[in-house]
Amino acid sequence: MKYWGEYKIRIARTILGQESTIQNLSYYRNQLFYHIILYTLAFSPIAIIPGIIASYRTGFYNLLLLNILTLLVLVVLGFVKPIKIETRKLILIANLFIISWALLYNLKLEGPGLMYLFTVTIVTCLIYSGKIAYKLILINSFILVLLGLNIEYQWLQIPITNNQDTTTWFGIVVNLIFLSIIIVACFDIIFKKLEKIIIQQRQLNETINQDNQKMIDAQKVLKDKNEELNQFAHTISHDLKEPLRSMQAFAHLTISKYKESIPEKGQEFLTHIQTASERMALLLDSLLEYSQIGKGKEKSEFSVKEIVKELEKDLSQLIQENGAEIEHKNLPKIVGYEIEFKQLLQNLIANAIKFKREEENIEVKINAKEKDEHWEFLVSDNGIGIDPKHQEKIFTIFHRLHKNRFPGTGLGLANCKKIVEIHGGNIWVDSLPEEGSTFYFTISKNLKTAKNG
């Protein structure tokens, strides 16, 4: 098997060169030619050596020389490199054509000459073209008809026509020509259909490649824009902090130092300034946190169950103050950003506790279901619920439904959405007013432990 493999590689390199992709019908014709040479050269000694011996013993020295020449031609076609593949094909066809007529001349109808004529026609159609095969059929037909007429009228004394019957000759010749035309026509139709399919496939591949490139370019543009937005958010939140601190400091200093000399209405205004600046500072911190989600962090494998247990400890005061109960089950180990995932669950649990119904014991349930390509998590509560018309808006940055009733920045669920997206997932909610909410989110199973840029 080792030598056979090396032999195949050597023949392929000689005949096909670097041809590796399907460009047109020539690819398949060249492959057929390669396999014909591959197997004919490998097994030719089985036929040629006995042929040489038989030709020598029977005195057909011209056939003996032809057998040796054929073997040499096959070796040249298989191993000599500086020959174009189309030239190799013509050499093979010419060699088969000469063999056919030599056998017919020496062995007449009793030999395999007509079979070789039929074979060379089919091989020509397979490795070259139907047009050339039809021309070859025309040439063979013309010569065979002339020989048949010579049998009838004895114009020339040719050994091939001696002692031949005209009816037998034309019966065999007509059937040979008929079969040759039918088979060549069938192969020609098949190859034309195949060529059409190849062209359509190539056009489809070109379209797909163009679409893929457009998608890659669009993804790059989107990534650059997201990076710009994140950088903008980071810069704004960072650069605004300094003047905001000054505003807070001067407002506080003015109230504490000049309280007695400032009218009550002025003190009220300063208090509003101080409160607003504190809220602005909180919003900037939240915006900065949002812009940094997932940046420069390492993915790792962690237990969601352990994270929930940690959150129960971290939020123990909030849980106790509100009489909340947290249940969890079927929580797996996953690969992702552990800190961000913990923040995701913390936001959802804190929201479930914050948006509770009056005098209702809070129940928070956390569960997970394994799917083919991802994990599906759900966090459900029995809180005030969300009207369906607001369920898509709540994941928008700075969007708040209950501004006057509950405190917050409007970034909690926006953070959740971004965290889920960097884990290759989606987040949505199923809820009705006063009937609680169930937040669903998915985490891809195909995340690898690598650093996010």
Domain layout of the chain by residue ranges: 2-206, 240-291, 300-444
Residue type, 155: W
- DSSP H or E stretch at residue 335: strand 333-336
**Buried-state track 367-403, b at ≥16 Cβ within 10 A, e below 16:** ebeeeeebbebebbbbbbbbeeeeeeebbebeebeee
- DSSP H or E stretch at residue 304: helix 304-314
> What DSSP string describes 197-209?
HHHHHHHHHHHHH
Q: Identify the residue whose tokens are 């965290």.
A: 419
- Sequence-distant (6+) residues with CB within 8 A of 303 are 331, 332, 333
Residue type, 386: I
- DSSP H or E stretch at residue 339: helix 338-354
Beta-strand relationship, 363-370 and 374-380 = antiparallel
How long is the chain?
Answer: 453
As given in the structure block, the two tokens for residue 224 are 């650059």
Residue 450 is predicted with a pLDDT of 46
Q: Are 241 and 288 in contact (CB under 8 A)?
A: no
Cα 165 from Cα 167, distance rounded (Å): 6
What is the DSSP secondary structure assignment for residue 16, as one 8-state letter?
T
Residue 234 is predicted with a pLDDT of 66
| CATH architecture observed for domain 300-444 | 2-Layer Sandwich (3.30)
The reply to whether the predicted model has a pTM over 0.75 is no
Residue type, 352: A
Q: Count the Cβ atoms, other than its own, within 10 Å of residue 255.
A: 16
Residue 286 is predicted with a pLDDT of 65
- Sequence-distant (6+) residues with CB within 8 A of 168 are 109
Cα 437 from Cα 433, distance rounded (Å): 9
CA torsion through residues 204, 205, 208, 214, sign: negative
Q: Is 120 helix (H, G, I), strand (E, B) or coil?
A: helix
Q: Which residues of the chain have pLDDT under 70?
A: 1, 18-23, 161, 230, 233-234, 236-241, 283-284, 286-288, 290-292, 294-296, 398-410, 448-453
Q: Are 429 and 368 in contact (CB under 8 A)?
A: no
Q: Are 452 and 297 in contact (CB under 8 A)?
A: yes
Residue type, 235: T
If we measure between CA atoms, which residue out of 95, 56, 53, 102 comes closest to residue 74?
Answer: 95
Taking the mean position of all CA atoms in its chain, how far away is CA 235?
A: 39
- DSSP H or E stretch at residue 283: helix 264-291
